Amino acid sequence: MAKYLLKRLFYLILTLFLIATITFFMMKLLPGTPLSNESKLSHTQIQMIYHTYGLDKPVWQQYLIYLAGMVRGNFGLSFQFDNQPVSYLLATRMPASFQLGIQAMIVGVLLGIIVGGIAAIRRNTWVDGTMTVISILMISIPSFVLAILLQYYIGLKAGAFPVAGWGNFSYTILPTIALAGSPFATTARFIRTEMVDVMSSDYIELAKAKGLTSTGVVYHHALRNSLIPLITLIGPLTVNLMTGSLVVENIFAVPGIGEQFVKSITTNDYPTIMGITMMYSVLLVVVLLITDIVYGIVDPRIRLQGGRS
């Protein structure tokens, strides 16, 4: 197990290094410069600013300086946001994004399990059909459309929840729903497929032959076996939430990472782009590592491979 973890850790660091490198050079290929919006600056002023940020050095030197800083946890100063350190920006904006992300994940996955499970048990009935249509809609409607619809009809027209901004819990509800659409639909479809598969397996037949009620069969045998593979979906769902948050946070004016990320890209704020990218990457690889470990813990077939067998 220790050896396995060490190996995973090595690949994790390698992945992060590759992401850092690729992002750095892709970012340099973005059109425009950090100062392209500041037309009043003279050439000498621009050169001065470039010099303070080290942007006059050759790109490969910038890259090495950047890597060296990053390893020490220093992502540099933001060009745009009042010259604040990027790490400080991240720290202040993380809580809102995390809260939304976790809320959306919990709501989406739980609803998805319930809906997908019911669809599987009532397979090929109108219940199943309706649920399939809903989840296909939720997958195909982009989250920003859902967000705007929610904002307009529930926020503005019905006045049920705040239209935008950030404050008490009620502010989180609409963005959470908008973000939860994708994990909900993905989970529902996954669980339905998984459960239909499990329900047709021999051990379910045996469970019925034991005299279990249909609820007993689902509760004691089908559910557990369908839920375990769901763990592998957490990684992709995290990615969904990250990309979803970019637009959803903007629409609802949530002071989160996603909103800042979009701003920093439009203004070529290199240190912030890099900082956020790296933070997302670290989050994702850690989520993937944790889900792998958890999978190994809950699935007896994998659990024992390292130990006795």
- On the 0-12 / 13-18 / 19+ scale of CB atoms within 10 A, 164 is middle
The residues facing 77 across adjacent strands are: 85
Q: Is 297 among the residues that bind another protein (CB under 8 A)? A: no
Instruction: Classify 172 as helix, strand or coil.
Output: helix
Q: Which residue lies nearer to another protein by CB, 195 or 257?
A: 195
Residue from 213, 219, 243, 306 in contact with another protein (CB under 8 A): 213
- Given candidates 220, 290, 297, 306, which one binds another protein under the rule CB under 8 A? 220
The piece of 42-50, 148-156, 199-207, 260-268 that touches another protein (CB under 8 A) is 199-207
What Cα–Cα distance (Å) separates residue 12 from each residue in 68, 85, 281? 18, 26, 10
The answer to the question of residue 299 lying near another protein (CB under 8 A) is: yes
Handedness of CA 7, 8, 9, 10 (dihedral sign): positive
Q: How far is the CB of 297 from another protein (least distance, A)?
A: 12
Among 27, 114, 139, 212, binds another protein (CB under 8 A): 212
The yes or no reply on residue 211 touching another protein (CB under 8 A) is yes
Out of 17, 153, 203, 219, name the contact with another protein by CB under 8 A.
203
Residue 7 or 220: which CB sits closer to another protein?
220
Smallest separation (angstroms) from another protein to the CB of 299? 7
Identify the residue among 37, 45, 84, 201 touching another protein (CB under 8 A): 201
Q: For residue 296, how far is the Cα from the chain centroid? A: 22
Angle, in degrees to the nearest 10, between helices 126-140 and 86-121 = 160
- Which window, 19-27, 33-41, 215-223, 249-257, contacts another protein (CB under 8 A)? 215-223
Residue closer to another protein (CB basis): 73 or 307 = 307
Helix, strand counts (H, E) of the chain:
14, 0
Query: Residue 79, class by beta-carbon neighbours within 10 Å (0-12 exposed, 13-18 middle, 19+ buried)?
Result: buried
Residue 158 gets which letter from DSSP? S
Residue 7 or residue 303: which is nearer to another protein going by CB? Answer: 303
Q: How many residues bind another protein (CB under 8 A)?
A: 23
**Among 65, 91, 206, 286, which residue sits at the site for another protein (rule: CB under 8 A)?**
206
Instruction: Kindly tell me which residue out of 85, 216, 235, 236 binds another protein, with binding defined by CB under 8 A.
Output: 216
Residue 64 CB-half CA count within 13 A: 4
208 touches another protein by CB under 8 A: yes
**Part of the chain binding another protein (CB under 8 A), chosen from 87-95, 96-104, 168-176, 198-206:** 198-206
DSSP line for 23-88: HHHHHHTSSS-TTTT-TTS-HHHHHHHHHHHTTTS-HHHHHHHHHHHHHTT---B-SSSTT-BHHH
Residue number with CB closer to another protein (104 or 199): 199
Say how many CA atoms lie within 13 Å of 69 toward its Cβ.
Answer: 18
Interface residues with another protein (CB under 8 A)?
201-203, 205-213, 216, 220-221, 224-225, 228, 299-301, 304, 309
